[in-house]
Structure 1
């Protein structure tokens, strides 16, 4: 009878351990993707067709120091480099796709996502040999190290103030008269109408939050 009790206790302990293990196991990433049919925080509707919306997006990226590449009438990519420390590097890449909602309408939707890649300086040991003619084929190993930047992290910037600032800036350039856009005095434009996307990006190397709280710019 004692043997049966020991077996029952062991089974109970194993079942409890399995249950605790199942609770502590994080949910797979693919299960976290809900694909909700509602409005996505990575999209924004503009009162303009796809071509002018993407042109405004290109100008918004250029105004913030991003390099615009792969520019098309309905899409644009931008990238910007950061050097937070002497031994680390980061790149933010922004991808914009513009689609016209209805051929008969003048509205469009822009879909945007930004990816932050982080690089760190890594040292790799290498060896070299020096032949000494005096000793024939004798060679001596010489240790050395090479420094190289290695990607250590890559993550999509979560929805938050970063994208809201971008959409606000794109909307600003859509409202600017194209004939006068080259001569617009930035000082005459209210500061709130020209937000800086960089203010919403968390410090390089820190974990990206689910959402960023609104913060005043340094000049305010």
Structure 2
């Protein structure tokens, strides 16, 4: 193998190692999944979004101004739970409003932590004192932004239906 081939292989390995820096991929381009323009004022659009979330079983946490957070939980199995969160912002624009929506899906699992302690001197004093405990805790095992365009389209369709009522 020649010297240049070895350099290319070493550079490739170096590029693949290390942690991924997600901020490098951010271009801040508009993405139709996350915003939709409406020809009505922000207040009715935000109210329609709130009703869509409530109608679908989300718990809606009011935010400051024209912001909402909708949360819905799903029991995956005995120890696992998933949670969908929708972050909704209504913003005024010249000829109406824009609805911004981002959704995240997070998964949680029950993890058991065991701790035991034993104190004693077996050769001199044959009695020892021990203590053990188990604690169950809910731990986030995965989380990511929802990228499915169909998910967002269904939400916007629901907002349009609510506005038409």
Q: TM-score range by the shorter chain?
A: 0.7 to 0.9
CA contact (8 A) 1:50 1:73 kept: no
Runs (4 or more) in structure 1 with deviation over 6 Å come to: none
Distance 1:173 1:73, change over 3 A: farther
Residue of structure 1 aligned with 2:12, choices 9, 12, 20 = 20
Residue of structure 2 aligned with 1:121, choices 92, 107, 110 = 110
The answer as to 2:28 corresponding to 1:35 is yes
Partner of residue 66, structure 1: 58
Partner of residue 152, structure 2: 163
Q: Distance in 1 between matches of 2:158 and 2:28?
A: 27
Residue of structure 1 aligned with 2:71, choices 60, 73, 79 = 79
Larger Rg: 1
Distance 1:71 1:174, change over 3 A: farther
Q: Distance in 1 between matches of 2:76 and 2:153?
A: 24
Q: Distance in 2 between matches of 1:171 and 1:94?
A: 17
Higher share of residues assigned helix? 1
Please, what TM-score do these two structures have when normalized by structure 1? Answer: 0.63
Q: Distance in 1 between matches of 2:130 and 2:44?
A: 63
Higher share of residues assigned strand? 2
Structure 1 unaligned residues grouped into runs of 5+: 1-7, 131-135, 177-220
Q: Which has the higher contact order (CA 8 A, sep 6+)?
A: 2
Structure 2 unaligned residues grouped into runs of 5+: 120-124
The root-mean-square deviation of aligned C-alpha atoms, in Å, is: 2.8
Moved more, 39-48 or 88-97: 39-48
Partner of residue 122, structure 2: none
